[in-house]
Amino acid sequence: MILPVLLKDSYGRAIRDLRISITDRCNFRCFYCMPQEAMEWKPKPEILTYEEIIQLAEVFVSLGINKLRVTGGEPMLRRDLESLIERLARIEGVEDLAMTTNAHFLRGRAKALKDAGLNRITISLDSLTPDRFALLTGRNELTQVLDGIDAAIEAGLSPVKINSVAMRGINDDQAVDFARFAREKGVHVRFIEFMPLDNGKVWRREMVVPGEELRRRIDAVYPLERVKSENLSETARRWRFADGAPGEVGFINPVTQPFCGHCSRIRLTADGMIRTCLFSAVEHNIKQLLRDGASRDELIDFIAAVVEKKEDRHHINDPEFVQPLRTMSCIGG
């Protein structure tokens, strides 16, 4: 069987980016991601083993995937994460290996992750003040997260990116503070528009703060210059500081400025389901196929058929939009 150079969907988009969730568990309880009440975690036998993750990742990479991102839940809750990172980094064809984390456990482990082969790290942080952080996450642990960010910088995981979900009336007043943080630390802060993926179904359109609105607020204090990128699938609209200060700010605007037309991503959930879109209404069970002893060619054919079904776009802005049954913690960030 001659392998294709790239996975392409029916709209001609090349799929180069695989997001691998390795756990649905998290030590935080961000309301837009996970319920405050007791979470029903997937039983351990339903979660992909490291061996299964490596086997599937090797197949995906053979089909043209060259970017891997490890997500959760909180991926650092999985034991021996460094060993998984090392094995993923060794797969021939992987050009970029990243991870998304809440940074709580980074102090003491960031260097080992870097040494294992992790290239970059993205840290979820929605507030820079202790009271607001505790309100948003259900945990009073901002100090540990900030220390984790410092540990990532010290370990050379560059660039360190900070993802902040902006919600009107909740944390949008901290946009300039985050820009100042980017300048002081030399990190890339990216503001993400609030999306309807919350467990409590509290999402309302009026809670969405357009990225362009935040950009104008920041530009009024710290003038910005656009960073041009030739990567059409890049989700963030990036801006540098006009005075030459380190760091960047970026705006990921899936609600007001959708970027579906150049989407290059596909997701593998912790329990072995392929999702072709963050907002997919259906999932594709590759775990069952794998555990039934499918050959490599059968896995390839399955993946290619799934990618062919990738949606043309999300439907957040359509009147008939239906929120996915699974929340972000289960889907993978």
- Amino acid 160: pLDDT: 97
- Amino acid 1: pLDDT: 37
One-letter amino acid identity for 55?
Q
**Structural domain harbouring 241:** 19-331
Q: What is the mean pLDDT of residues 110-124?
A: 98
Inside any domain, residue 10: no
Inside any domain, residue 3: no
Query: Percent of the chain beyond pLDDT 70?
Result: 88
Per-residue CA distances from 137 to 8, 127, 171, 208 (Å): 38, 10, 12, 19
Judge contact between 52 and 290, C-beta under 8 A: yes
3-state secondary structure of 170: coil
Per residue in 148-183, pLDDT tens? 999 999 999 999 999 999 999 999 999 999 999 999
Indicate if the pLDDT at residue 144 is higher than 90. Answer: yes
3-state secondary structure of 143: helix
- Amino acid 312: pLDDT: 76
> Quick one: tokens of 25?
């568990």
DSSP state of 208: B
Inside any domain, residue 203: yes
- Amino acid 32: pLDDT: 74
- Amino acid 123: pLDDT: 98
Q: What is the mean pLDDT of residues 121-145?
A: 95
Q: Which residues pair with 193 in a beta bridge?
A: 166
Inside any domain, residue 85: yes
Judge contact between 80 and 53, C-beta under 8 A: no
Q: Is the dihedral of CA 64, 24, 26, 214 positive or negative?
A: positive
Distance between CA atoms of residues 135 and 73, nearest Å:
19
Q: What are phi and psi of 20, to 5 degrees?
A: -110, 110
Inside any domain, residue 261: yes
Range with the lowest mean pLDDT among 56-70, 202-216, 302-316, 319-333? Answer: 319-333
Q: Where are the beta strands (DSSP E) in the chain?
A: 7-8, 14-15, 17-21, 67-71, 96-101, 120-124, 160-166, 188-193, 224-226, 237-241, 248-252, 265-268, 273-275, 284-285
Per-residue CA distances from 216 to 19, 122, 210, 262 (Å): 31, 24, 10, 25
Judge contact between 90 and 68, C-beta under 8 A: no
Inside any domain, residue 6: no
Angle at 286 (CA atoms; ends 275, 313), nearest 5 degrees: 20
If you search the block for the tokens 């009024």, which residue do you land on? 220
Q: What is the mean pLDDT of residues 318-332?
A: 60
Our count of domains for the chain comes to: 1
- Amino acid 2: pLDDT: 40
Q: What is the mean pLDDT of residues 6-34?
A: 89
If you search the block for the tokens 């204090």, which residue do you land on? 221
> Quick one: tokens of 190?
């990216």
- Amino acid 330: pLDDT: 60
For position 233, which CATH number holds? 3.20.20.70
Q: What is the pLDDT confidence band of residue 197, given thresholds at 50, 70 and 90?
A: low
Q: What is the mean pLDDT of residues 2-16?
A: 79
- Amino acid 23: pLDDT: 95
Inside any domain, residue 83: yes
Q: What is the mean pLDDT of residues 311-330?
A: 64
- Amino acid 323: pLDDT: 62
Among candidate residues 266, 329, 271, 327, the one with its CA nearest the CA of residue 72: 329
pTM for the whole structure: 0.91
- Amino acid 260: pLDDT: 78
Q: What is the pLDDT confidence band of residue 56, given thresholds at 50, 70 and 90?
A: very high
More confident residue, 326 or 216: 216
Sequence-distant (≥ 6) Cβ neighbours of residue 119 within 8 angstroms: 96, 97, 98, 157
Inside any domain, residue 158: yes
Per residue in 265-288, pLDDT tens? 999 999 999 999 877 878 999 999
Per residue in 205-255, pLDDT tens? 788 999 999 999 999 999 999 998 877 667 789 999 999 999 999 999 988
Indicate if the pLDDT at residue 333 is higher than 80. Answer: no
Distance between CA atoms of residues 21 and 23, nearest Å:
6
Indicate if the pLDDT at residue 38 is higher than 50. Answer: yes
Mean pLDDT of the residues in the chain: 90
